[in-house]
Amino acid sequence: MISNNGKVAIVLEGGAMKALYSSGVLDVFLEEGIAADALIGVSAGALFGVNYKTRQPGRAIRYNLKYIDDPRYFGLKSLIKTGDIMSKDFAFYTVPSKLDIIDSETFRQTPEEFYCVVANMNTGKAEYIKIDDLDVMRQSEALRASGSLPYLSRPVEVDGQLYLDGGSIDSIPLAKTLEMGFEKIIVILTKHRSFVRGKDSGLLPKLFYGKKYPEFARALSCRNAEYTKQFELVWKLEKEGRIFVFSPSENIEMSRVEKDKAKLQAMYDLGIKDAHDSLEALKEYLEK
If you write DSSP's letter for every residue of 69-80 in order, what string do you get? T-TTTBSHHHHH
pLDDT on residue 123: 98
pTM as predicted: 0.95
The span from the CA of 262 to the CA of 280, in Å, is 29
Task: Please give the single-letter amino acid code of residue 54.
Answer: T
The span from the CA of 120 to the CA of 216, in Å, is 7
Q: In sequence order, which residues have a C-beta less than 8 Å from that of residue 27 and are 6 or more positions away?
A: 51, 57, 58, 271, 272, 275
pLDDT on residue 6: 62
Angle, helices 59-67/261-277, rounded to nearest 10 degrees: 170
> Residue 118, SS3?
strand
Q: In sequence order, which residues have a C-beta less than 8 Å from that of residue 230 and are 6 or more positions away?
A: 170, 171, 172, 174, 175
In percent, the amount of the chain with pLDDT more than 90 equals 89
Extract the residue ranges of the chain whose pLDDT is less than 50. 1-5
Q: Is the dihedral of CA 206, 208, 214, 219 positive or negative?
A: negative
By DSSP bridging, strand 113-120 and strand 8-12 are unpaired
pLDDT on residue 200: 84
pLDDT on residue 75: 85
Q: pLDDT tens-digit profile of 1-58?
A: 433 446 999 999 999 999 999 999 999 999 999 999 999 999 999 999 999 999 999 9
